[in-house]
């Protein structure tokens, strides 16, 4: 099993930046992808960004393209989400996730296809 622990959330004003970190432990050799998802109050959890091991491929939701950047470090197994030019609508609980392979890249940003989740870190953006 893989365990994921997020950190780096907080409160910022609109236009500010935050960097989230997710450290993976356990059976990390089974991980092929790491991703970030978010859930705002009253809304469903949605994909934000994902990365294939080694950083060969990255995927972004349209709402964050050009503002957020996902990256990965191998030692330890850590994924980062650099969030710039934050907007109030980015306010949410942010979750790290991991899984093995996908049968198609088309499924990478599909929330229901991810099977391992962290506890989340809160991001609040004020106007």
Radius of gyration of the chain (CA): 14
- Give the model's confidence band at 44: pLDDT under 50 very low, under 70 low, under 90 confident, else very high: very high
pLDDT at 76: 67
Residue 105 DSSP SS3: helix
| Residues 6 or more apart in contact with residue 87 via CB below 8 angstroms | 14, 125
Q: What is the DSSP letter of 42?
A: T
Which two three-digit tokens encode residue 101?
A: 């392979």
Q: Is the pLDDT of residue 84 over 90?
A: yes
Residue 23 DSSP SS3: strand
33 bridge partner residues? 52, 99
Query: If you average pLDDT over every residue of the chain, what do you get?
Result: 94
Which two three-digit tokens encode residue 112?
A: 């229901």
pLDDT at 31: 87
Q: Is the pLDDT of residue 74 over 80?
A: no
Per-residue pLDDT tens over the stretch 1-39: 899 999 999 999 999 999 999 999 998 888 899 999 999
Q: Is the pLDDT of residue 118 over 90?
A: yes
């Amino acid at each position: 099993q893989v365990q994921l622990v997020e950190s780096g959330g907080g409160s910022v004003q609109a236009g500010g930046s935050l960097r989230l970190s997710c450290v993976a432990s356990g059976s990390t050799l089974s991980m092929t992808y790491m991703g970030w998802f978010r859930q705002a109050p009253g809304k469903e959890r949605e994909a934000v960004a994902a990365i294939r091991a080694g950083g060969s491929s990255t995927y972004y939701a349209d709402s964050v393209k050009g503002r957020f950047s996902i990256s990965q470090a191998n030692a330890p197994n850590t994924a980062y989400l650099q969030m710039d030019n934050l907007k109030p609508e980015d306010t949410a609980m942010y979750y790290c996730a991991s899984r093995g392979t996908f049968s198609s890249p088309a499924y990478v940003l599909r929330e229901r296809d991810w099977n391992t989740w962290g506890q989340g870190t809160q991001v609040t953006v004020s106007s």
